[in-house]
Structure 1
Amino acid sequence: MEQKPLERKDQNSASPTRSLPAHYGRNALGEWLRMLTVAAVTLSLYVWRGGETLLFLLTACGVLMIGGLLLKLLGPRQVTVTRSLSRVSLAAGDTLTVDVQVSFRSSIPLPWMVIADHWSQGQHQELLFPGFRRSLTYSYPLEEVQRGVHRLHGSIVSWGDMLGLFTGGCQSGCGDSFKVRPRPLYIGGAALYSSMKAGDVALSRSTRNFSAEAGEIREYAPGDPLSRIHWKNSARKGTLQSRVPEREEGRMSCIVLANTPGEYQIPYGALTPRGQRSAAPDAFEQAVSAAMGLLLAAEQTGSYVQLFSGGWPEGMARHEGLGQIPSRVQDMLTEIAPDGGRSLSTLLEDASKGWIPGMTVAVITGRLEEESARSLARFLVQGVKVELYYVWDQPAPGPAGGTEKNSWSPASTVGASLTRLGANVYCLRDSCPSNGYKGVGNHGFQEKSTLW
């Protein structure tokens, strides 16, 4: 994290270096007005009635005002707050420790100091007792940080005399920030690679060699680049032969992540009791974690992977490649939000332009809709392997297009119908961040399809 020097608050300055909250000036003026009022009343009573008690109170007021004046003139200067993080790579749900070092200059001992850090998803206040020390260190935890970019909205340092009658303060800028990436959720076959470290590619493009085996060579097709032509095999057979692209070798997968608000609205009847809503994980966070897990699993197996999601130029993948997942892709999943403008069915149409039979398509959404389910059924008929990850299922439409709510059962849902058509269906509600995001089980059904 960046090191930000804090700037001294000058209450009597007409144009401070950095604009400060208006209540600081009002508080300083109010402090002196209160003490002057108390001193003036005590002095009037002493002149009128005399007495040792009033003299003592008048002397105490004078001592307190002298201490406030010394705090103003000789108090802390050049206050610097330096923060450092205990961890560089963070995943959602981790606990982060922030180490803070405070240094300043002061000609008088300082009774107390309060440092308040206001982060985007929480705040922390620390009470220190500097005394004659001019440098102090402390640390505090940020527990179970959520996915996203966390920024320091403000840091305010306050100090004062022993009784807190006179105070001062300064504030820092808001440049400190850190990123928390989604915690990978390994699902199905991807759970086999959950013990591997991100970045350890099991099979990379540089280690593959294209031999002249029949399984890796096919007849030349118009549009194949010259770099793919296998000249030795072509000369032997008398016709042009092309090396099979990696995506045609069955190592290509496509991940489609729905991110429209409607896809993650809780369906009627799926609301949990009020006392249990805080414990239930957010549906979109589960979806993003599933996408991260699938990407890292493709990285470990050396698969050619695509990633489609809303908020990107129409028909273009947010990521497409082989090998290690770029940092920009993980940063994109860190900042993505359910604010896309294209429905899941539209995303499927855009992504399917490059699909071929035999490849695997992973579709991640919150709730199963009939329109997108019909598109997936069409792809299954075309020979595309479909893996569907959802949070809430929906009743399958009846023969007349309606739903049989009275006879609803787990075997008469959209997910069950897709399963009977050959799709692998996984329910994300079976996973929970508190359980370490273990692999999600497959939901299979054996009854006859009721959707189509």
Structure 2
Amino acid sequence: MKSWRFLGPLFVMAICTALFSFAMFQGGFMSWFLFFSFLPLVIYQMGLTFYPLRNLDVSRTLSQSICHAGQSITFDIIVERKAPFPLFYCIVEEVLPDSLQRSDTGINKYAHMNHPVSYEAKRYKKQILFPFFRRKIKASYTLSQLPRGEHQLDQIRIRTGDIFGFIKKEHLFNVNDTLIVFPNKRRIRFKYTLHSLEQGEAIVQSNDFRQTNMVAGVREYLPGDKFSWIDWKQSAKRQDVMTKEFEHEKSMEAFFILNAVSSCQWLAFEGMIEVMYSMMDVIQKTTDSKIGLLSIGKEMSYFPSHFDVGSREKIMRHLATLKPSNEDMFTDRLQRQTTVLSTHSLIFVFSCSIDIRFIESMKKLHSKHKKRLHIFLLLSKNQSIELQDTINMLVEHQIGLTVLTEVQLMKDPLEVRV
């Protein structure tokens, strides 16, 4: 390809040489007029041929580096140069990674659960500018319906050339930026039936679902505690502001187990991450529960239950960047990790595949945790029908089970019974 770059300049030089020869042999005003009229174009072509495109200073700015799936962000690509060499046009292209070749249309994407190809979207971001003598140019574009994940933006391609197309130049610039897209937050309607969550049914959006009539003790005041929770008598005794501690604050602990295997359909896997992310966010905001996670996929990641914000951010970052595993090691790895599960935890298992080995592992888990275990299966409607006999094996053992198909996932709010 590099040898073809010089064909344009050679062609221009050949025309210039032919005009010069014609003027020398023919003489006269017209022949020399043609030669000198063509000479500025030859000089520009030679200058453009040796113009150091790689010396451009290219940078990228993002309107935000963290967002949620389905949202949009704006990119600004700024190109600066020292010498004001005239450029007739300049094509600025963002080389988008494969991870961004999908679109997230919110709950509407689940309508294509059986045809996940429709989730893919070829994105091309190019913009043509006419800088002429300007030393600084800017190209802006917007990426909408962003998919979940950690997206590495590494390269920007710059193309330019002359007006006749004899000369074309391009260079690939390495400009590194990271865009993190968290899962979409869903509105969830909870129906609690487990012993530690006897709150009834509600669209969980409020900031407080505490059982303030079950005082278990006192603790130091924390930002966000209500004024009515302050225990004035204990505060006076200890010379510090003390807050009433309620029963569920001491005992509630939600632990999530995620089966991240590659056998899932892509949309089912995205739905599983989205529902889990939303449940964690809702439970923690409305009950101040401790949240833990055991993610079993290509690598096993364990996040113990803590109240601190740092632990929560690590879990959310993990769910944002997680990809399906190529190996189904869920059952074996889960058996080696059962000791990390507290007997006081509510255990939620999320999976988008089910087989006999999975059922056997759930039976063992259920024997230890009984009604504190609940399983969420994310399947397409066709899969749920085909696997009905296998699913019934969980029901027969009285294991808490919720099957979510595209029918449920497209509802707003999402109804979840646990």
Q: What's the TM-score, normalizing by structure 2?
A: 0.68
Specify the alignment match of 2:87 in structure 1: 110
- 5+ residue gaps in structure 2? 101-122, 192-200, 219-244
Q: CA deviation at 1:427?
A: 0.8
Q: Partners in 2 of 1:362 and 1:75 — Cα distance? A: 59
Report the CA distance shift for 1:257/1:39 in structure 2 as closer, same or farther (over 3 A). same
What's the CA shift for 1:47? 6.9
Structure 1 distance, partners of 2:82, 2:412, is 49
Q: Which residue of 1 aligns with 2:67?
A: 90
User: Structure 2: how far apart are the matches of 1:59 and 1:436?
Assistant: 73
CA distance in 2, matches of 1:78, 1:43: 34
What are the within-5 Å matches in structure 2 for residues 40-439 of structure 1? 40-41=17-18, 58-59=35-36, 61-71=38-48, 79-120=56-97, 121=100, 122-185=123-186, 187-189=188-190, 195=205, 211=217, 249=251, 251-262=252-263, 264=264, 282-300=267-285, 301-311=287-297, 317-324=302-309, 325-339=311-325, 341-355=327-341, 359-382=345-368, 383-392=370-379, 412-419=388-395, 421-430=398-407, 438-439=413-414
SS of 1:295 mapped into structure 2: helix
Q: Which amino acid aligns with 2:394?
A: L
d(CA) in 2 for partners of 1:72, 1:313 = 51
Aligned-partner residue type, residue 69 of structure 1: M
Q: TM-score, normalised by structure 1?
A: 0.64
**Distance in 2 separating the partners of 1:48 and 1:436:** 84
The answer to whether the Cα contact below 8 Å between 2:153 and 2:179 also exists between their aligned partners in 1 is no
How far did residue 378 of structure 1 move?
Answer: 4.3
1:345 and 1:247 map into 2 onto residues whose CA distance is 32
Letter in 2 for 1:158: R
Comparing both structures, which one devotes a greater share of its residues to strand?
2
Counterpart AA for 1:256: I
The number of aligned residues is: 352
In 2, Cα distance between the equivalents of 1:384 and 1:412?
22
Runs of at least 5 residues in structure 1 that lack an aligned partner in the other structure: 1-22, 213-242, 267-280, 397-407, 444-452
Structure 1 or 2: more helix by fraction: 2
Q: Report if aligned partners of 1:368, 1:394 keep a CA contact under 8 Å in 2.
A: no
Cα distance change of structure 1 residues 107 and 360 upon mapping to structure 2, 3 Å threshold: closer
Select which of 3, 10, 16 maps to 1:33: 10
* Aligned amino acid, residue 414 of structure 1: T
Q: What secondary structure sits across from 1:69 in the alignment? A: helix
Q: CA separation in 1, counterparts of 2:379 and 2:52?
A: 60
Mapped partners of 1:308, 1:340: distance in 2? 18
Deviation, 1:439, is 1.1
For residues 140-192 of structure 1, the C-alpha deviation after alignment (integer angstroms, 9 at most, x for no partner) is 01122222222223212223333233344444214222111222345552996
Change beyond 3 A, Cα 1:109–1:32: closer
Identity %, equivalent residues: 16
CA contact (8 A) 1:76 1:104 kept: no
Contact 1:149 1:177 in 2 (8 A): yes
Q: Secondary structure at the match of 1:173?
A: strand
| 1:284 shift after superposition | 1.5
Shift in Å at residue 85 of structure 1?
1.6
- The whole-number CA distance in structure 2 between the counterparts of 1:170 and 1:437 is 47
